[in-house]
């Protein structure tokens, strides 16, 4: 039988990536890996205080597309803990910004940026991913000019904090911006989640998340989500990754995704992978079948919002 949706499920492959950007292997994907989505992405761990993005402290990067650099912790008890102090330089006359909680740095197209550097830490490792709004990673390396003391780019450095939408139920998102999806949406949904929309990302046509997951069962069981099958009018990619810095290929869970309007195909992942959902492709329900250790999932949706249409649950036949 031909599997119509198989091409939308891809194992993640650790690569060295472009020369001079990161020192360790990372998961990298571009449009050619993502069924043509206008996206380049990487995920990995920062394990020391060397400069990165780029590695050369005398240079900066310039991309022809907008980019997000996301810095997060791996303490699954507290998604708001970064566990380090990180700095990054932004602008033609570079300004240095320092932060010590999970943060997204917004890089408009053409803006010189980097390097980033872990200044000090109380955890040995942080996680870091980038989202580039272009089909492939491209950058010019430019010499860094003398540093400026101005703060023209401060608005581009934002603590990770969930966008709160009018229809959210009280208690879904707390005062720190943490979403508790497992308590409100479905038992296997995120224990703790931060989800930012375009309006909090300088109006970019993208929304992103970072969340920890540890429970088995259905991801969507609330009345609003019906049977869990849904569709978006925009492209989306879900990155399932582990949190073990000693083994980037360790995932520690098994996830089942159902595909198609008639729920005709089922796919299971048990290693780091990306699920690709082009606009109009029906997907769900999603079920966590097994968890050995907590894992992370990153949503990258190529729209400022996350418009979702929930389909009625199909009838079930009991014998």
- Any idea what the CATH number is for the domain that residue 118 is in? 2.60.120.10
As beta bridge partners, residue 267 has 257
- pLDDT above 70: residue 192: yes
297 and 221 share one domain: yes
Q: CA 299, CA 310: separation in Å to the nearest integer?
A: 18
**At 38, is the secondary structure helix, strand, or coil?**
coil
Domain holding 199, by residue range, is: 181-310
253 and 292 share one domain: yes
- pLDDT above 50: residue 166: yes
Q: Compute the 3-state secondary structure of the chain and give helix, strand, coil in percent, each to the nearest 5.
A: 5, 40, 55
CA 84: distance to chain centroid?
Answer: 19
23 and 68 share one domain: yes
Q: CA 71, CA 36: separation in Å to the nearest integer?
A: 26
Query: Taking residues 24-53, what's their average pLDDT?
Result: 97
Exposure string over 234-249, b if 16+ CB within 10 A, otherwise e = bbbbbbbbbbbbeebe
Is 7 among the domain residues? Answer: no
Question: How many separate domains does the chain show?
Answer: 2
Q: Which of 126, 159, 192 is the last residue of a domain?
A: 159
Is 196 among the domain residues? Answer: yes
Is 31 among the domain residues? Answer: yes
Residue 158 tokens, joined: 């934002």
Is 134 among the domain residues? Answer: yes
- pLDDT above 90: residue 101: yes
135 and 187 share one domain: no
37 and 116 share one domain: yes
Handedness of CA 310, 273, 304, 73 (dihedral sign): positive
61 and 196 share one domain: no
Query: Taking residues 93-101, what's their average pLDDT?
Result: 98
Q: How confident is the model at residue 318 (pLDDT cuts 50, 70, 90)?
A: very low
Q: What Å distances lie between residue 144 and 112, 115, 118, 227, CA to CA?
A: 9, 10, 19, 53
Q: Please give the radius of gyration of the chain, using alpha carbons only, rounded to the nearest integer.
A: 19
148 and 19 share one domain: yes
């Amino acid at each position: 039988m031909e599997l119509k949706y198989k091409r939308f499920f891809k194992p993640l492959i650790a690569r060295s990536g472009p020369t001079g950007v990161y020192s360790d292997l990372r998961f990298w994907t571009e449009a050619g890996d993502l069924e043509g989505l206008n996206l380049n992405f990487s995920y990995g761990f920062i394990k020391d205080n060397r400069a990165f993005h780029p590695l050369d402290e005398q240079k900066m990067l310039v991309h022809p597309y907008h980019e997000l650099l996301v810095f997060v912790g791996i303490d699954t008890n507290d998604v708001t803990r970064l566990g380090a102090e990180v700095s990054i330089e932004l602008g033609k006359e570079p300004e240095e910004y320092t932060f010590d909680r999970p943060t997204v740095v917004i890089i408009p197209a053409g803006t010189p940026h980097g390097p980033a550097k872990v200044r000090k830490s109380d955890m040995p490792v942080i996680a870091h991913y980038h989202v580039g709004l272009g089909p492939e990673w491209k950058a010019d390396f430019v010499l860094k000019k003398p540093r400026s003391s101005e703060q023209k780019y401060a608005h581009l450095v934002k603590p990770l904090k969930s966008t709160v939408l009018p229809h959210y139920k009280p208690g879904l998102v707390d005062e720190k911006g943490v979403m508790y999806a497992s308590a409100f949406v479905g038992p296997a949904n995120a224990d703790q989640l931060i989800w930012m929309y375009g309006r909090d990302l300088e109006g970019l046509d993208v929304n992103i998340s970072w969340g920890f997951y540890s429970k088995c069962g259905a991801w969507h069981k609330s009345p609003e989500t019906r049977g869990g099958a849904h569709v978006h009018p925009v492209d989306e990619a879900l990155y399932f990754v582990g949190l073990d810095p000693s083994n980037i290929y360790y995932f520690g869970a098994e996830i089942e995704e159902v595909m198609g309007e008639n729920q005709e195909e089922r796919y299971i992942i048990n290693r780091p992978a990306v699920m690709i959902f082009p606009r109009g492709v029906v997907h769900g329900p999603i079920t966590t079948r097994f968890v050995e250790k907590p894992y992370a999932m990153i949503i990258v949706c190529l729209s400022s919002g996350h418009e979702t249409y929930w389909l009625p649950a199909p009838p079930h036949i009991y014998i």
